[in-house]
Amino acid sequence: MKVTINDVAKKAEVSVATVSRVLNNNYPVNVVTRARVNKVIKDMQFIPNMQAQEIKHRKSRTIGIIVPSVDNMFFPEVINGVEDYLMKHDYSLLLCFSKNSKEREKANVRNLLSRNVAGIIIADADLTNVENHFYDEFVKNTPITFINGNPSHDQFSHVLCDEEEGANQALQALWNHGHRHIYFIRGINSHSYDVKENAYRTFMKQHNEECDGDVIYVGEGNSSKVIDVTRSIMVTRLLKDKNTAAFCCNDLMALGVIDACKELAMDVPKDFSIIGFDNIILSKFVQPKLTTVDQNMVQLGLNAASLMVENIEAGKKLNKTIVLSPKLVMRETLGKNSNK
């Protein structure tokens, strides 16, 4: 059985109140009693039960984080940033995977709430569309900060990469290199995909081009799966379509496109250009090295965490939004359109 404050009190022949006082060092206790109690604590290896403490204090020092998965290196990097900040501020991290499922996202939130977290950080939330009122009910009680969520939820804190801007940089670069027919490749469930698709559609409209069937949906899964599914879809499309380039919602999909090109013996970027998004570490190791839009994931996490503790310590009301600027990093998969 685990040793409790009662056991310590009994053994040290003092009341639990006294033990608590030496533990917390917040009330005068006689130096010799204190020494005796400390000795017993050490001898019995007593570790105070934080759950009991938190229930008493009606607060908590654990914060929940929900990410789709850690398959895509994007999220581990975000978690890194979050953990780094939180650790320094004595918070612990309860980790949940939403697997791009609305149902799991809900379940995760409820689970975290019942576990009495001080706040929740949610990356790539799927339930943030305005018509979806899921998060509305939680405002009053628990601070939530979204990473790359829909900022229309203005009661919450947000940390965003300006994905529209990132998409525009990529699309503009493609345009400047003479590409007129451009695939847009995205996954299924995430606000991020939607904002990039919007950017894509308005870019196309602005340039009097048609998108006709060029947005391609790829399912979710682990890295290898995403890459492979993208590859296999693109293998069937690349030759018959007139497109000369692809803008991909994340680097994994971009790798899949590279693979498809290799399989069809198309040269990248001579025959086909590709731009990814995220700049995960993989992207600079593929051959050819992937041109992609960097969103500083660690910064994303760091900012989310700092917003979160600010929020907690302020006692609720904050709803700041931090927008980070992405940056196109030129590598080797963008080239001039040579097809006339």
Partner DNA sequence: TTTTCTTTAGAAAACGTTTTCATTAATAAA
Partner DNA sequence: TTTATTAATGAAAACGTTTTCTAAAGAAAA
**Would you say 35 or 55 has its CB closer to its own copies?**
55
Stretch in the footprint of its own copies (CB under 8 A) among 167-175, 179-187, 193-201, 219-227: 219-227
The partner in contact with residue 240, picked from DNA, its own copies, none with C-beta cut-offs of 5 to 8 angstroms by kind, is none
Q: Using CB under 8 A, which of 16, 70, 322, 329 touches its own copies?
A: 70
Tokens of 86: 């939180």
Residues that bind DNA (CB under 7 A): 2, 4-6, 13-21, 23-24, 26-31, 33-34, 46-49, 52-53, 55-58
Task: Give the Å distances, CA to CA, from 210 to 207, 215, 233, 324.
Answer: 9, 11, 21, 30
Q: Contacts with its own copies in 259-298 (CB under 8 A)?
A: 281-282, 285-287
Tokens of 54: 């938190």
Q: Using CB under 8 A, which of 7, 36, 97, 310 touches its own copies?
A: 97
Stretch in the footprint of its own copies (CB under 8 A) among 52-60, 175-183, 208-216, 260-268: 52-60
Q: Using CB under 8 A, which of 33, 38, 101, 116 touches its own copies?
A: 116
Least Å from the CB of residue 75 to its own copies: 8
The partner in contact with residue 44, picked from its own copies, DNA, none with C-beta cut-offs of 5 to 8 angstroms by kind, is none
**Would you say 114 or 208 has its CB closer to DNA?**
114
Assess 255 for contact with its own copies (CB under 8 A): yes
Assess 110 for contact with its own copies (CB under 8 A): yes
C-alpha–C-alpha distance, residues 243 and 88, integer Å: 49
**Would you say 95 or 215 has its CB closer to its own copies?**
95
The partner in contact with residue 314, picked from DNA, its own copies, none with C-beta cut-offs of 5 to 8 angstroms by kind, is none
**Would you say 7 or 165 has its CB closer to DNA?**
7
Tokens of 226: 């995403």
- How many other C-beta atoms are found inside a 10 Å radius of the C-beta of residue 309? 20
Assess 314 for contact with its own copies (CB under 8 A): no
Least Å from the CB of residue 7 to DNA: 8
Nearest CA to 337 among 246, 271, 248, 289?
Answer: 271
Name the residues that contact its own copies, by CB under 8 A.
1-2, 45, 47-52, 54-55, 60, 62, 69-71, 73, 75-77, 79-80, 83, 87, 92-97, 110-111, 113-116, 137, 141, 222-224, 255, 281-282, 285-287
